[in-house]
Amino acid sequence: MPRLQVPQLGAAPDAPFPATADALRRPNGLLAWGGDLTRTRLLTAYRAGIFPWYSDAEPILWWSPSPRCVIVPDAIHLSRRTRRRYNTGAYQVTADVAFPAVITACAGLRAGQDGTWITAGLQTAFCELHQAGLAHSVEVWQQEELVGGIYGLALGAMFFGESMFSHTTDASKIALVALCRQLQRWSFGLLDCQIPNPHLHSMGAIALPRSDFEWLLAGLLVEPGQPGSWQKRFKPESRW
């Protein structure tokens, strides 16, 4: 059991996390278990490059994997097919218009899955962060139907991407590209994707050693960022 391999967090929401260098290699990045999902603990975790990832059958598990998958916003790759699909004008992109709906859709079961790591507790915690102007969503609409989106946490000039979903072809890619282009205009330095995978690499993601990621993170956290609602500040281009 993970709880026998890694330390348990203290009960207080501001209890310190173990040093990320002590995270396990197998499974990659498992650092601690226990604690809660209070705003204080979540912000402490993300500012240290740590995130929760667990299922309802497990205690809360905290991770700091190495390498770390990230996207530099101005390096996002847009395929010709996705560009053509967006340029038809059939899709509209917004931000912070339907955060609860986006996180609910991201938590939905997908092919080959028998559960979700976006538990009810995690959904509640991120909706509270959204209400505080810290967590944000980008929505993709087709004929007033929500067909894709992405959500995550913005601290300073760093965006921690949590999950995305797509109900039509390329809708999640459109959300990701629109987010990256806005982050670039706002001078955000990185979009954290957490775990590398071939799909993200095909869109321009790179893998950083933990030490490099944490060094960059420390510098981005002190930037002013864009706290508060993004609903009126998010300005997607009409054509790509």
- Res 43 pLDDT > 50: yes
The pLDDT of residue 113 is: 52
Tokens linked to 235: 């300005």
Mean of the per-residue pLDDT values of the chain: 94
Write down the pLDDT at residue 32. Answer: 97
Q: What is the pLDDT of residues 167-197, one digit of tens each?
A: 999 999 999 999 999 999 999 999 999 998 8
How large a percentage of the chain has pLDDT more than 70? 95
pLDDT at 110 over 90: no
211 pLDDT more than 50: yes
| DSSP strands (E only) in 120-229 | 135-142, 145-155, 158-166, 190-194, 206-208
3-state SS, residue 161: strand
CA distances from 83 to 88, 119, 239 (A): 9, 33, 8
pLDDT at 229 over 90: yes
User: Rounded to an integer, what is the distance from CA 177 to the centroid of its chain?
Assistant: 14
Rounded CA-CA distance 35/11 in Å is: 6
Which pLDDT belongs to residue 3?
46
Helices 99-106 + 120-131 axis angle, to 10: 160
Q: Give the per-residue pLDDT at 112.
A: 53
The predicted structure's pLDDT at residue 196 = 86
Question: What does each C-alpha distance from 120 to 37, 100, 104, 114 come to in angstroms?
Answer: 11, 12, 9, 16
SS3 content of the chain, % helix, strand, coil (to 5): 35, 20, 45
In the structure, what pLDDT confidence band is assigned to residue 57 with cuts at 50, 70 and 90?
confident
Pull the structure tokens for residue 234.
């998010």
- Which domains does the chain show, CATH number per domain? 2-65 (3.30.70.3550), 69-221 (3.40.630.70)
How far is Cα 187 from Cα 23, in angstroms, rounded to an integer? 31
Query: Which has the higher per-residue pLDDT, 15 or 111?
Result: 15
